Amino acid sequence: MNTQKFSVTYLEVICLMAGLTPICSMAAEEKKTYTKPPVGVFSSQMSDALLGSDKYEKPIWNLHDALNLPKWLSLSVEQRTRYETVDGSFKAGGKGGDQQIALQTDAFLEARFNHFRLGGEFLDARQLGADSGSGVNNTHVDEADFIQGYLGWADQNAFYSGLGAEVIAGRQTLNFGSRRLVARNSFRNTINSFDGIRLRVLDYNNWQFNAFTTMPVNRYPTTSADILNDVQAFDTASGRTWFSGGFLEMYNLAWGINGEVYLYHLDESDSAKNLTKNRRYFTPGVRFYIKPAKSKFDFQVETIGQLGTVRATTASTDNKDLDHEAWYQHVDVGYTFDMPWKPRFALEYDYASGDKNPTDKKDQRFDTLYGARRFDFGSTGIYGAFARTNINSPGYRLGFSPLSDVKVGVSHRLYWLAEDKDSWTTSGLQDKTGKTDNFIGHQLELSTRWDVNSSLNFETGWAHLFKGEFAKNAPKAPDTQDVDYFYIQSMLRF
């Protein structure tokens, strides 16, 4: 064991317990070490085989040390409990509110032998308190299943080239770039996974390339009745849907700007257990960004296009392919102040195209594929009022840390439909005539997280949706009452 490294880590743990460790900084790409635990099960305690160090500090309470496991074996368990409640409804035909207790237990095991790794991850995601009117689905529940089971090989200096190389085959989670199109979910109770193979090549501090060919794993059961009756069915890939792509990251191109360019391909077909819209998309994109740093401006610009075909419904009798052309744009500009509480203020804007004419043979509604949305549009769970499709949304956010172990965020966004005749997809509301005013409303959100130590954190959040004319007056709109969403959660890792 490296004694010096152990001493530094021990000192960091003592500082963290004393509340003296600074809030985790995402500014330095090359360091890849953070002193605070992750917000969710996102990335967990999985080590980076090429960068040679764990991304997060080892939990103070950890199974590896308690069980005196060998260095080549990693074992960790994370448990999250979240109570969430919503008052009012924004969904078509909705009435009243709802509540739910979301439980998520995640166990990760990995054995390492020289350049090889054998790993597995078990997830049990379930809910308490939902009923037949809750609209519970397989984004809330995925009971007792494996989301990872893989064999990996990695070499930090492959063939003495100075490049790091890694290959992972089997069931795995994927997480690329901004996470807007491919993400390992952090707030949602279930997690996307894929069966296939991924290649990663890393030129340290210069660029990184990922290429993958996979089959998305379908979560079962899919009906709310089966989920409420605790029917257990193992998740499987249909074998008839393929998701592949290439993703190039380039670091410090000029003036601290980083860049990404990527292309994804989705080829989706029906199977006996899973009817689809037969999406066949090519999705190219590019992103440039500077990470936040004290006393400096930062920015992010991401542009995504989408071409291909799709069908209007998942019905087995629907065999008409619609031409699909869609696009998405995100821009944000922020500044971090050199003052107590380290406030960062940012202006942001998102546009996701919608379908211009629901009666023609074309589709322009942007599809976010397997991305996450919580970091852009607020809490999901039983709320999830907005998604990356048919929206025109400016906003601003403020983040600050009143204490070294407390992080606070405030966000305010306004929402219009990008296309008047298309739907507000998360609500099911649509006026095909386009005569209803297209202002959906605006959302105010407040969230707070307290990192008690590297094994335990608490988080709470509140969102208020001020309904606009479309949310109040579109066909099948619920009553005009604004919507309040509240959650409180604990995360324990050991």
CB 463 within 8 Å of CB 494? no
Q: Which parts of the chain have pLDDT scores under 70?
A: 1-46, 53-56
CB 372 within 8 Å of CB 188? yes
Burial degree of 74 (CB within 10 A; 0-12, 13-18, 19+): buried
The pLDDT of residue 82: 98
The pLDDT of residue 163: 96
The pLDDT of residue 395: 98
Q: How many CB atoms lie within 10 A of CB 225?
A: 10
The pLDDT of residue 56: 62
CB 144 within 8 Å of CB 136? no
Q: Token digits for 348?
A: 């942001």
The pLDDT of residue 9: 39
Q: Which residues pair with 305 in a beta bridge?
A: 327
- The percent helix, strand, coil of the chain (3-state, each to 5) is 5, 50, 45
Report helix, strand or coil for 17. helix
| CATH tag for 3-493 (out of 2.40.160.100, 1.10.260.40, 3.40.30.10, 3.40.50.300) | 2.40.160.100
- Non-local (6+) Cβ contacts of 416 within 8 A are 391, 392, 393, 438, 439, 440
Closest of 118, 113, 119, 84 to residue 98, by C-alpha: 84
The pLDDT of residue 3: 40
Cα dist from 61 to 13, 53, 77, whole Å:
11, 19, 11
The dihedrals phi and psi of 195, each to the nearest 5 degrees, come to -100, 125
The domain spans of the chain are 3-493
Closest of 267, 237, 261 to residue 171, by C-alpha: 237
Distance in angstroms (rounded) separating the CA atoms of residues 334 and 230: 45
Q: Is the pTM of this model over 0.85?
A: yes
The pLDDT of residue 45: 57
